[in-house]
A and B are shown apart, each in its own frame.
Chain A
Amino acid sequence: MTDKGNNGVDEMQVDVYTHEQRKKGSIPEGFNADYLKLYYAKLFPHVEIFKWMSYGNDGKHPARDTSYFGRREFSFTLDNDVYLRFQSFNSAAELENSIKEKCPFKIDIGPVYSVDPAKRHAYAQAGDNVFKPVERELVFDIDMSDYDDVRYCCSGADVCLSCWPLMTIAIKVIDFTLREDFGFNHILWVYSGRRGVHCWVCDGRARRLNNEQRAAIADYFRVYKGNENSHRKVSLAGPAMHPFISRSYADVLKLFFEEKLLCGQELLSTEERFQMILDMIPDESISGQLQERWKASWRPSMSKEDINIVRWGQLKHILQSGKQKAPVLRRCVEEIVFTYTYPRLDMEVTKHMNHLLKAPFCVHPKTGRVCVPIDPEHCEDFDPTSVPSLAELLEELNMAGSSNADSGWEGTSLAKSVSFFKSSFLQPLLKSCKVEMESKYNDAKIQEMKNSMSW
């Protein structure tokens, strides 16, 4: 019934919106090549992307690697579904011109190879393994459609404000762990434009990880043991939890589960739903007891308290009371929370250096929304439904009008995103690249001195 209500509201809003739009004499929502052309011409932050992908090697420092940017793979998906892999560029201008000319519906970023990927065939003859990835950001890809068994509001490609907290949780858990446990500092989170988030870890140390080390990090984050063919999804067996696991639980998962998801997703409201949770209790007498109680108590409760909260309290009480000696039972509450909240990573993306990932600031062809960065420190406030869309931006561009035609994204609602990207991510990153380059240079100099004296 709530569904119906929602729809009504949505329709109304849409009406109002189109009305307003018409008043402004404006641009209908949607996505097409013409919009995109304008977007790449006026709004897309070409220079910033180039600066990022250069990691300081575009500067004047004597230790810079002038071939660095040119060995990076870009790949374009064009309007007619043509897929161009292994594109490479030697300068900011080349990149920008190519994007403007080809107008890709999607831009993917791959690794930095040992040689210019566009010329890989020339090297292929030369012998084994000349052409191979040598650097790549550590990346994570989290997709809402992997959570379909634990959300009831939408499924597949759809997201809404009541399931989005799942993404917020993923950002919080992963971001903090990457910083605290792994010591990484330069981490960029990006909305994937539709139903998920991407994470780019850009520290030099992260970029140089080999596949085995990437897999180790991915596995460090793994708590899901089985798949849909086995019942128990999360297994936290063992006499204690690893500090990373217990911290994630205490600082993030528990809170979000109890304050957002439990009621937001009504996890215990109907029999079908609470049965899924009861099935995770390894002691049938306990789950049976709760089941009976909950089946019977479906009268609009005397207390005003939310039924989900009441039931969760009962479940916790019974499992965590002093009577339960078996550790499997005590751990069961945590396992339930993990199953319903813990980040679900696409492991393959993280494990392999040569996986492609969509570039930030692309526009998602289905939603027309821009893949904007997300501030991990305020990720609770991120609202996927209010991310600037292509049509809105072009509208704003129109409004800004001919007065200053070259202002680009400044003055549009993309400004906030681009300046966040620059000030919170790019600047600190480039600063540390410079430091790293400096020390590499000095080391090389010292080595040189040693060599010159060692004859």
Chain B
Amino acid sequence: METVSAQKRKTTASEPSPSLPLYRSAPELEVSLDDFELYAIDRLRVLKAMSDGLSRGKKPDEIGALVTELWKEHMQHPNPSDVMNKDIISHFVLRLVYCRTEDLRKWFLSMETTLFRHRFRLESLEVQRMLMSEFKLPFKALSNSEFEAVKEKLGQVARSINQPLPTVDSTIFKVPFEEVPELVAGRRVYMLKGDAYVAMNQVASLVVTQFRSHLSKALVLTNRKWTSMIQEQEKDRLTPIVEALSSSYLGPDYSQPKEYAEISIKDIDRVANSSFPLCMRHLFDKLREEHHLKHGGRMQLGLFLKGVGLKLDDALAFWRVEFSKKVGTEKFDKEYSYNIRHNYGKEGKRTDYTPYSCQRIITSTPGVGDHHGCPYRHFSEENLRAALSKMGVSSRTADDVMDKVRHRHYQLACTLTFEAIHSCSCDAGINHPNQYFTESQKILQQRSQAAE
């Protein structure tokens, strides 16, 4: 049987070894080409199911449970001593698969990081400490006297986030705030002079940041190696497998309009009325009403319209008509058109030009004066009810919708609305505003054909 081997990885047998590898270097393991592929597919199953869960707007603890379940289902091995190997090999194979474009890297990085975060949380405190030291984080725990000096503030933070009060025995790390952005963002740490005070039960965030940045750099390196040598050297063995694996990637891509595509400006009001999900309808109405949208709204609606099939020239014309009523044509051409062209990849770097998914919209945080976001999540009950009734949703259905909203199932709420408006079921559920649009158009076209 043909085998593949890579470099060395040390393991010391005597220590209580964590079941969570850090994937710091490629393993020296003999593995058959079949396993090479099978392991990778199993891991991919885990990552994809996670990705689906995230895009359905699942909360962190739900994702945690999902991860545990998925891991059990796909990542076991009949031979216990091979469990770890499977974990490591599959990770490194997928690195090859997902190193090759910015988008692939981004997806892989975020899924592996999420996976790591949840697995890290499941480890015992002792193992967590060990993993931390493996990363060689240069952070020391507070001494008793240091602790006393900030005790009161630490207690205040702990109470503000419903955490147990720290005591002298608690381990608290003082780290540069740059290392724990997510804790800073949520005001989950006490901050003093540029240092964040991180409790032991929060170090996941710290380690995850490290994990993420290591992996991010590694992926770029892998990409370089891949294009400079591996791809050619392995063109008869690994390359075909890697390529096959990568095409089984992600769900549908809405950045390019699909079969029902190409709408023109004159149709836009009609389709907005019939087939836009509430988030886009709201932006659309606000734009017509105020002739202006702030950045977040322009992005959310603009990329959606691109996905719907509005051509660049039409998009420019569409936005210009509205904005010029408020800011004048010149200002529009000067300050806003760049942005729109950029979304279509005509100017600047083409970084983020795919239409936003529901997950992204739901987790966005619109501020004062913003109209983007997901109405199911971001509207008050009263405003949401009004918006629903404007869409023609009966008050009985609206009750059902509100019920979903209260349980924070925003996409299900949106799905119910879809079903009510189109009076037919939508089993797949709504995951993406462009999917909402496409499904809606499909149904309407079938109906109009049937009517002919």
**Residues of A with Cβ closer than 8 Å to B?**
77, 81, 83, 128-129, 131-132, 146, 180-184, 205, 209, 212-213, 215-217, 219-220, 222, 224-233, 238-246, 344-345, 347-348
Do the beta carbons of A217 and B184 come within 8 Å of each other? yes
Q: Shortest distance in angstroms between B49's beta carbon and chain A's nearest beta carbon? A: 26
Query: Knowing A183-B193, A209-B178, A230-B379 touch, does A216 contact B184 (C-beta < 8 A)?
Result: yes
Do the beta carbons of A183 and B380 come within 8 Å of each other? no
Do the beta carbons of B295 and A348 come within 8 Å of each other? yes
Inside 8 A of B153's CB, which chain A residues have their CB?
Answer: 243
Q: Shortest distance in angstroms between B253's beta carbon and chain A's nearest beta carbon? A: 20
What's the count of A-B pairs with C-beta under 8 Å?
Answer: 114
Do the beta carbons of A244 and B191 come within 8 Å of each other? yes
Do the beta carbons of B181 and A216 come within 8 Å of each other? yes
The 8 closest A-B pairs by CB, nearest first: A183-B194, A216-B181, A240-B159, A219-B185, A183-B193, A181-B191, A230-B380, A216-B185
Whether B16 is near chain A, meaning CB under 8 Å from some CB there, is no
Q: Shortest distance in angstroms between B209's beta carbon and chain A's nearest beta carbon? A: 9
Q: Shortest distance in angstroms between B183's beta carbon and chain A's nearest beta carbon? A: 8
Distance in angstroms between the alpha carbons of A344 and B370 in the assembled complex = 12
Whether B190 is near chain A, meaning CB under 8 Å from some CB there, is yes
Chain B positions 191 through 229: 1 when the CB is less than 8 Å from some CB of chain A, otherwise 0: 111110000000000000000000000000000000000
Distance in angstroms between the alpha carbons of A344 and B335 in the assembled complex = 23
Distance in angstroms between the alpha carbons of A354 and B224 in the assembled complex = 27
SS class, residues of chain A in contact with chain B: loop
Do the beta carbons of B191 and A230 come within 8 Å of each other? no
Q: Shortest distance in angstroms between B296's beta carbon and chain A's nearest beta carbon? A: 7
Among A146, A183, A242, A246, max chain B CB count under 10 A is at A242
Query: Knowing A182-B194, A227-B371 touch, does A239 contact B160 (C-beta < 8 A)?
Result: yes
Distance in angstroms between the alpha carbons of A296 and B295 in the assembled complex = 45
Do the beta carbons of B162 and A146 come within 8 Å of each other? no
9 CB < 8 A contacts A-B? A129-B349, A181-B193, A216-B177, A216-B181, A240-B159, A242-B157, A242-B160, A244-B187, A245-B187
Q: Shortest distance in angstroms between A130's beta carbon and chain B's nearest beta carbon? A: 10
Q: Shortest distance in angstroms between A173's beta carbon and chain B's nearest beta carbon? A: 14
Among B186, B335, B367, B379, max chain A CB count under 10 A is at B367
Inside 8 A of B378's CB, which chain A residues have their CB?
Answer: 226-227, 229-230
Inside 8 A of B349's CB, which chain A residues have their CB?
Answer: 129, 131-132
Do the beta carbons of A128 and B102 come within 8 Å of each other? yes
Do the beta carbons of A246 and B156 come within 8 Å of each other? yes
Query: Knowing A83-B335, A229-B379, A239-B160 touch, does A224 contact B184 (C-beta < 8 A)?
Result: no
Inside 8 A of A184's CB, which chain B residues have their CB?
Answer: 194
Q: Report the nearest A residue to B194, measured CB to CB.
A: A183
Do the beta carbons of B161 and A238 come within 8 Å of each other? yes
**Residues of B with Cβ closer than 8 Å to A?**
102, 153, 156-157, 159-162, 177-178, 181-182, 184-187, 190-195, 295-296, 330-331, 334-335, 349, 365-371, 373, 375, 378-380, 382-383
Do the beta carbons of A229 and B160 come within 8 Å of each other? no
Q: Shortest distance in angstroms between B429's beta carbon and chain A's nearest beta carbon? A: 24
Do the beta carbons of A243 and B380 come within 8 Å of each other? no
Inside 8 A of B373's CB, which chain A residues have their CB?
Answer: 227
Q: Shortest distance in angstroms between B387's beta carbon and chain A's nearest beta carbon? A: 9
Pick from B159, B185, B192: contact of A180, CB below 8 A. B192
Do the beta carbons of A242 and B184 come within 8 Å of each other? no
Q: Shortest distance in angstroms between A382's beta carbon and chain B's nearest beta carbon? A: 24
Distance in angstroms between the alpha carbons of A83 and B159 in the assembled complex = 51
Q: Report the nearest A residue to B179, measured CB to CB.
A: A213
Distance in angstroms between the alpha carbons of A182 and B178 in the assembled complex = 10
Inside 8 A of A131's CB, which chain B residues have their CB?
Answer: 349
Distance in angstroms between the alpha carbons of A217 and B186 in the assembled complex = 10
Inside 8 A of A241's CB, which chain B residues have their CB?
Answer: 156, 160
Q: Shortest distance in angstroms between B139's beta carbon and chain A's nearest beta carbon? A: 16
Distance in angstroms between the alpha carbons of A129 and B216 in the assembled complex = 14
Inside 8 A of A229's CB, which chain B residues have their CB?
Answer: 371, 375, 378-380, 383
Distance in angstroms between the alpha carbons of A27 and B181 in the assembled complex = 53
Pick from B194, B335, B367, B382: contact of A227, CB below 8 A. B367
Inside 8 A of B190's CB, which chain A residues have their CB?
Answer: 243
Q: Report the nearest B residue to A348, measured CB to CB.
A: B295
Pick from A181, A216, A242: contact of B192, CB below 8 A. A181
Distance in angstroms between the alpha carbons of A128 and B375 in the assembled complex = 37
Do the beta carbons of A215 and B181 come within 8 Å of each other? yes
Do the beta carbons of A227 and B102 come within 8 Å of each other? no
Inside 8 A of A348's CB, which chain B residues have their CB?
Answer: 295-296
Inside 8 A of A217's CB, which chain B residues have their CB?
Answer: 184
Pick from B177, B380, B382: contact of A182, CB below 8 A. B177
Do the beta carbons of B160 and A238 come within 8 Å of each other? yes
Inside 8 A of B162's CB, which chain A residues have their CB?
Answer: 238-239
Inside 8 A of A225's CB, which chain B residues have their CB?
Answer: 365
Inside 8 A of A344's CB, which chain B residues have their CB?
Answer: 367-368
Query: Knowing A181-B191, A183-B194 touch, does A227 contact B368 (C-beta < 8 A)?
Result: yes
Q: Shortest distance in angstroms between B101's beta carbon and chain A's nearest beta carbon? A: 9
Do the beta carbons of B195 and A183 come within 8 Å of each other? yes
